[in-house]
């Protein structure tokens, strides 16, 4: 088989199916990272360059809870998710919000600065050493016939669906969710209706960081933690958010799967290095035919 003049290798259907399934697992990780981002980036239009650094920080928190107190990474969610919310709330309310004076271009630089500070602080305090969590169920899982699905991967997949559902319910059914949407659509109008815009901004940022903290708990059993780990996922997460449609949680989930499957099949046929260009190809194609992304709506 040939594609653009390149002779592609041929694989059995089980290998192709296994690769596509592995794309779903990889996509669930992208979706997990993208869900918090789509809330902050998609709803509030804050390009949060600190997202990767916050993911890394949350992963360290999960790791240290395991290493110090023996708390399972999934149980650690009960601590790091509320912790992430309050950290994010404080970060937006007292650092990003105050330093940016409401100007988008300054917000961008402030989040970049926060990312640099967090990454270098992590390097200073935690060193460059990668730290891995060992869980007893690391190798247990289900034989899907074409590939093995271990429990940490299934947990990440399930987690991505649950967080998407929780965010959707929160945004559509709660007063705070409605307030967030109101602020996103018409900030001044929302203020005139008595909504505390500063508070809503901080709450939204806090929820975004809480999502990242949940993602961290689901990632730690598979990935080693180090100061650069966030950058491995966050660039693709930005792509997922735009591809899925800004502010759409379902878009982030579907976009994550689409990117994951595309990447894995691309790597299977074009090689591990060249295969990643398929992410950019699918991204450009989707935006050419649907500029608002898969689930985005025209503002």
- Report residue 6: phi and psi, to 5°: -100, 130
Closer of 109 and 123 to another protein (Cβ) = 123
Query: CA 120, 214, 160 angle in degrees (round to 5)?
Result: 125
Is 154 a binding residue for another protein by CB under 8 A? The answer is no
Is 126 a binding residue for another protein by CB under 8 A? The answer is no
The residue from 7, 273, 298, 299 that contacts another protein (CB under 8 A) is 273
Q: What is the DSSP letter of 274?
A: G
The residue from 78, 123, 235, 284 that contacts another protein (CB under 8 A) is 123
Sign of CA dihedral 104, 292, 163, 265: negative
**How far are the Cα atoms of 94, 212, 244 from residue 73, in angstroms, in the given order?**
29, 14, 29
Is 296 a binding residue for another protein by CB under 8 A? The answer is no
Closer of 121 and 287 to another protein (Cβ) = 121
Per-residue x/- marks for another protein, 206-245, CB under 8 A?
Answer: -----------------xx-xxx---xx------------
Residue 271 near residue 49 (C-beta atoms within 8 A): no
CA dihedral 200, 205, 208, 212 (to 10 degrees): -150
The one segment of 45-53, 97-105, 196-204, 262-270 that binds another protein by CB under 8 A: 262-270
Closer of 142 and 169 to another protein (Cβ) = 142
Please return the burial class of 3, using the count of CB atoms within 10 Å of its CB with bins 0-12, 13-18 and 19+.
Answer: exposed
Is 112 a binding residue for another protein by CB under 8 A? The answer is no
Closer of 6 and 224 to another protein (Cβ) = 224
Sign of CA dihedral 282, 286, 289, 291: negative
Task: Give residues in contact with another protein (CB under 8 A).
Answer: 11-12, 14-15, 18-19, 22, 25-26, 123, 127-130, 132, 134, 138-139, 141, 146-148, 150, 223-224, 226-228, 232-233, 264, 267-268, 271-273, 276
């Amino acid at each position: 088989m040939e594609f653009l003049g390149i002779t592609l290798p041929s694989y059995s259907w089980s290998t192709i199916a296994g690769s596509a399934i592995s794309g779903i697992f990889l996509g669930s990780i992208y979706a997990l990272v993208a869900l918090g981002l789509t809330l902050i980036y998609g709803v509030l239009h804050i390009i949060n360059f600190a997202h990767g650094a916050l993911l890394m920080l949350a992963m360290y928190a999960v790791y240290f809870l395991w290493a110090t107190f023996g708390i399972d990474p999934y149980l650690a969610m009960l601590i790091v998710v509320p912790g992430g919310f309050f950290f994010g709330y404080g970060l937006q309310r007292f650092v990003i919000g105050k330093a940016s004076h409401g100007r988008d271009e300054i917000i961008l630089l402030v989040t970049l600065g926060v990312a640099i500070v967090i990454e270098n602080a992590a390097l200073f305090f935690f060193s460059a050493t990668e730290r891995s969590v060992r869980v007893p169920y690391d190798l247990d899982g289900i034989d899907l016939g074409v590939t093995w699905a271990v429990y940490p991967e299934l947990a990440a997949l399930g987690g991505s669906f649950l967080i998407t559902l929780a965010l959707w319910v929160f945004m559509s059914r709660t007063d705070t969710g409605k307030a967030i949407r109101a602020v996103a659509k018409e900030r001044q109008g929302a203020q005139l209706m008595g909504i505390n815009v500063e508070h809503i901004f901080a709450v939204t940022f806090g929820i975004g960081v809480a999502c990242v903290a949940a993602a961290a708990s689901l990632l730690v059993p598979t990935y080693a933690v180090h100061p650069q780990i966030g950058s491995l996922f966050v660039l693709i997460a930005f792509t997922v958010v735009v591809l899925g449609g800004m502010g759409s949680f379902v878009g982030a989930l579907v976009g994550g799967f689409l990117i994951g499957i595309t990447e894995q099949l691309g790597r299977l046929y074009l090689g591990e290095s060249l295969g990643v260009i398929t992410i950019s190809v699918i991204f450009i194609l989707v935006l050419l035919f649907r500029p608002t992304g898969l689930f985005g709506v025209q503002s």
